[in-house]
């Protein structure tokens, strides 16, 4: 009997991690001591992002805190970086994942921003944690990047006198080669992490330099290349006792995982599969599985693909799937 590969859609914090504690302190960026008055500035200490409780900029570069309590450059939904409603609540953070303009105590050309938070308790050795945050590209950006990541560490990382890229390898990243260019909706970046024990900090950003960062032009103008991302809805849950979720399907006609079929939603009109360049390769109904071919019947190549489900004409869910024959 042919076995079908299923992906179950989920609300990240409430289905697979039901009745568990979110280990990211203030992961929805709702709690603050003072409403931010503007973007963070290297000449104003503390940075405005530090008014978001539990979060800071770990380098000289100036990541930001945005909230509906502000009415100007860090307002929500319209602000100096674009227009976006929060994934939830009234606040989110933002950072430049790529821009070539230095300054302050640093004389180079990089200006890479990060945000850094802390878990409410250290991670336990040998336990598996599902970590995820939602991101959205600010629509004042003129490029999108191909990879953002989370670096988990026992101690804080950073550089107080440089906005250059941090020289660490993130344990969780967005799929390689899939550009994060959605300016209207939120995209979930998530992954499972096996703890070594004692990890307390998470740092979010682009850990590649200007040469190794894949970029995609989204707005043709003469400004300095920049990619600014909003981030919201952070979660970390211990899933040690839960069955891992596969994200690979193998349409090689061997009777194992030959179809990708979306389940868990009602009355879906259709779903669409895009390749890494944003080209639509397949469109089907909710009860028709994808067999790794285009609508014209041609085999799609191995790689990461992006899917969007639409219900009654409105985008509802999206994510990534890896095709491996």
> Starting at the edge strand that comes first in sequence, how are the strands of the sheet with 201-205 ordered?
115-118, 201-205, 149-153, 172-173
From CA 38, how far away is CA 207, in angstroms rounded?
26
Tell me which residue of 107, 71, 77 sits closest to 90, measured CA to CA. Answer: 77
49-53, 93-97, 208-212, 272-276 — which is least confidently predicted? 272-276
Architecture of domain 48-238: Sandwich (2.60)
User: Where in the sequence of the chain do the CATH 2.60.40 domains occur?
Assistant: 5-9+246-323
The pLDDT value given to residue 313:
59
pLDDT at residue 200, as a whole number: 97
267-271-272 Cα angle (round to 5)? 165
Segment 33-59 shows an average pLDDT of: 96
Q: What is the C-alpha R_g of the chain?
A: 20
Mean pLDDT calculated for residue range 33-47: 95
Contact at 8 Å (CB) between 61 and 114? yes
Q: What is the CATH number of domain 5-9+246-323?
A: 2.60.40
Walk across the sheet containing 303-311 and list its strands: 248-249, 314-323, 303-311, 270-274, 280-284
240-296 per-position pLDDT tens digit: 876 444 578 889 888 888 888 876 656 557 788 988 777 889 988 767 889 999 999
DSSP 176-209: TT-----SSS-EEEEEEEE--S---EEEEE--S-
- As annotated, the residues of the chain forming the CATH 2.60.120.260 domain(s) are 48-238
Mean pLDDT of the chain: 85
Across the range 170-195, mean pLDDT stands at 89
Q: What are the residues facing 132 on neighbouring strands?
A: 190, 235
Instruction: Name the pLDDT band for 104 (thresholds 50, 70, 90).
Output: low
Euclidean distance between CA atoms 214 and 232, whole angstroms: 23
| Residues making up the chain, counted from first to last | 325
- Phi, psi dihedrals of residue 50, rounded to the nearest 5°: -75, -10
pLDDT of res. 123: 96
For the cut 80, the answer to whether the pLDDT of residue 42 exceeds it is yes
């Amino acid at each position: 009997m042919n076995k079908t590969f299923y992906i179950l859609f989920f609300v990240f914090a409430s289905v697979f991690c039901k009745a568990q504690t979110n280990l990211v302190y203030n992961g929805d960026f709702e709690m603050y001591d003072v409403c931010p008055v503007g973007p963070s500035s290297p000449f104003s200490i503390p940075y405005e992002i530090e008014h978001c409780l539990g979060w800071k900029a770990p380098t000289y570069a100036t990541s930001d805190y945005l909230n509906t309590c502000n009415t100007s450059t860090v307002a929500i939904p319209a602000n100096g970086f674009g227009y976006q409603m929060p994934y939830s609540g009234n606040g989110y953070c933002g950072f430049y994942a790529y821009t070539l303009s230095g300054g302050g105590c640093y004389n180079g050309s990089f200006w890479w921003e990060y945000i850094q938070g802390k878990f409410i308790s250290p991670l336990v050795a040998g336990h598996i944690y599902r970590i995820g945050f939602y991101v959205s590209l600010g629509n004042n950006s003129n490029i999108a990047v191909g990879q953002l990541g989370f670096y988990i560490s026992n101690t804080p990382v950073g550089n107080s006198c440089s906005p250059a890229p941090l020289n660490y390898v993130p344990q969780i990243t967005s799929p390689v080669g899939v550009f994060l260019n959605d300016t209207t909706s939120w995209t979930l970046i998530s992954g499972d992490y096996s703890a070594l024990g004692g990890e307390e900090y998470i740092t979010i950003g682009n850990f590649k330099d200007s040469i190794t960062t894949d970029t995609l032009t989204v707005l043709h103008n003469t400004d300095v290349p920049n990619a600014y991302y909003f981030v919201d809805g952070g979660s970390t849950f211990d899933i040690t006792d839960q069955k891992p979720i596969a994200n690979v399907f193998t349409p090689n006609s061997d009777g194992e995982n030959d179809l990708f079929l979306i389940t868990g939603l009602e009355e879906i009109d259709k779903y669409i599969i895009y390749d890494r360049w944003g080209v639509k390769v397949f469109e089907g109904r909710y009860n028709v599985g994808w067999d790794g071919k285009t609508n014209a019947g041609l085999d799609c190549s191995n790689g990461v693909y992006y899917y969007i489900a639409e219900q009654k004409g409105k985008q509802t869910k999206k994510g990534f799937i890896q095709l491996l024959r």
